[in-house]
Structure 1
Amino acid sequence: MKIVKKLSLFVVILFMASCASRKDIIYLQDLNLNEGHSSVEIADSVFFKMPTFKPDDRLTINISSINPEAARPFNLYITSFNMGGITSAGQQQQQSYLVDKDGYISFPQLGELKVLGMNRIELQKVLEKKLKMFLPDVIANVQLVNFRISMLGEVTKPGEYIINRDKVSILQAIGMAGDLTIHGKRDNIKLIREVNGLVKYYDLDLRSKDVVNSPAYFLQQNDVVYVAPNKPQVNASASSPTASYIISATGLLITIISILTR
């Protein structure tokens, strides 16, 4: 019976070591919301900076006016052809502008425009001011079309994601990636960001409400988010592939010994 007790204790210890604590899993644990009552939590500060243009960015710029023909020379289009049928049909698509290594784009009628460091609202205002002499009722619409982030590590769907809006938080990005797996470390999310040619690193703790006060809470273009595996997952990956079978066999052996020693 002593052998049975020892083996049973061994299996229990292995099981407990593989379990994750509740405090390691729950997001925003210190958020003080009274159950059954409406409550408001206000963050100390929220860091959000609209994405600014960098070399190799791609922009779409649409210039509109009450007179579409007057606005046409200020819009770049390319024609694509559908060759699937007997006759080919041309369809116009808006062409994107590439920001060169010095931060310039080449815009129709206006020539070289420096957009480095501008956000889309600032560029819209610049374009509308410059085009007023041609189109008194001009409206400019600018979009950054290559706003991408990368989600790596212990997320359900790792990969690169295209963002179609200016503002996306780390929690929204994790939601896009299907949430963290049960093996992901909630208390040490790594974010890698390039700023003016320098690489910055941030640590985020999703268990704390203070995550919203981090300058890395809202993501910037080309941010890389890495979710490290927790300790049980690391230990599991470092152990023999047959470890789970050994545990199962040990449990079966305990059962057999228990029956034989009755």
Structure 2
Amino acid sequence: MRVISKYGLVLGIITLFLVVFSSCGSRKNMVYFQPDSTQINTVYEQYVPKIQKNDILTVVVTAADPKVTAPFNPLSTMAAGSLTQQTDMALRPTYTVDEKGDITLPMLGKVYLEGLTRLEAIEKVRIELSHYIKDPGVNMNFNNFRVSVLGEVARPGSFIMPTERVTVLEALGMAGDLTIRGVRENVTLIREVDGKKSMHRLDLTKQETLNSPYYYLAQNDVIYVEPNKSQINNSKLGANTNIIISIAGLIITVISVLTR
């Protein structure tokens, strides 16, 4: 009976050891945007992404007479007729913003777009086209608006966004949301502008994050969710599991010998 008692004592000690390394989360660090006195005044237009070098843009020219747009849409004309909408989208002409900030459009040549919003770029191209086409229309979209989500989320990876109006919450949603082990108070956003990277911290438990200039994402943003202390401790524990089991076994053996 004494051996069993000592054995139970050792198990209790090991259990306590594991509990110490596994801290419990609280509502305070789990719930998003907890109520406070913050006034929500985010205006998307203040933070709309600007066109950058190496962006890939889809540009389609429209007009009342489709025939006059053919020289400006060399690939999209191939997609007319019986092709599906998905195939048509794949064949629409794309243009890469070069190192000087220009795209080269058929007939128009180089057009400088770096630093403009998508709507500003559309208007600039439309004005250039008006010299050739009466009342032209321009459909322009980012073709490589990519956001990466890493760390403690359900499905980390890179995602192509259908629009440039993307929030940090939408990106996290595409990644399956944070796991219970993710730190919501210190989400890191990495952004590159003009070749320079910067890091910004977002506290998703506070409403003030909705007013952050980094609440809306830019192309090529990276979101990183760090693991909480419990997950870090568990990884340390996992790496030393064999050692812990060996020590526990040795202690049990010693107790058994001493109590015979």
TM-score range, shorter chain: 0.7 to 0.9
Answer 1 or 2: which has greater strand percent: 1
8 Å CA contact 2:61, 2:73 repeated in 1? yes
Counterpart-to-counterpart distance in 2, 1:9 and 1:24:
29
Equivalent position to 1:234, from 232, 235, 246: 232
Equivalent position to 1:27, from 23, 32, 47: 32
- 1:50 and 2:48 are equivalent in the alignment: yes
8 Å CA contact 1:193, 1:224 repeated in 2? yes
| One-letter amino acid of the counterpart of residue 8, structure 1 | G
Partner of 2:117: 119
- What runs of 5+ residues in structure 1 fail to find an aligned partner? 33-40, 81-89, 255-262
Counterpart-to-counterpart distance in 1, 2:186 and 2:9:
38
Partner of 2:62: 64
8 Å CA contact 1:46, 1:214 repeated in 2? no
Offset of residue 13 of structure 1: 5.5
Equivalent position to 1:15, from 12, 19, 23: 19
| One-letter amino acid of the counterpart of residue 146, structure 1 | N
Counterpart-to-counterpart distance in 2, 1:150 and 1:219:
11
Equivalent position to 2:103, from 102, 105, 108: 105
Offset of residue 225 of structure 1: 0.6
Equivalent position to 1:157, from 145, 155, 158: 155
- Alignment CA distance shift 1:210-1:13 (3 Å): farther
Deviations 1:204-225 (A, max 9, x none): 1111111112211111111111
Offset of residue 246 of structure 1: 6.0
How many pairs align? 235
Partner of 1:224: 222
Partner of 2:139: 141
Partner of 1:197: 195
Partner of 2:210: 212
8 Å CA contact 1:170, 1:218 repeated in 2? yes
Partner of 2:258: none
- Normalising by the residue count of structure 2, what TM-score does the alignment of the two structures yield? 0.79
Partner of 1:94: 92
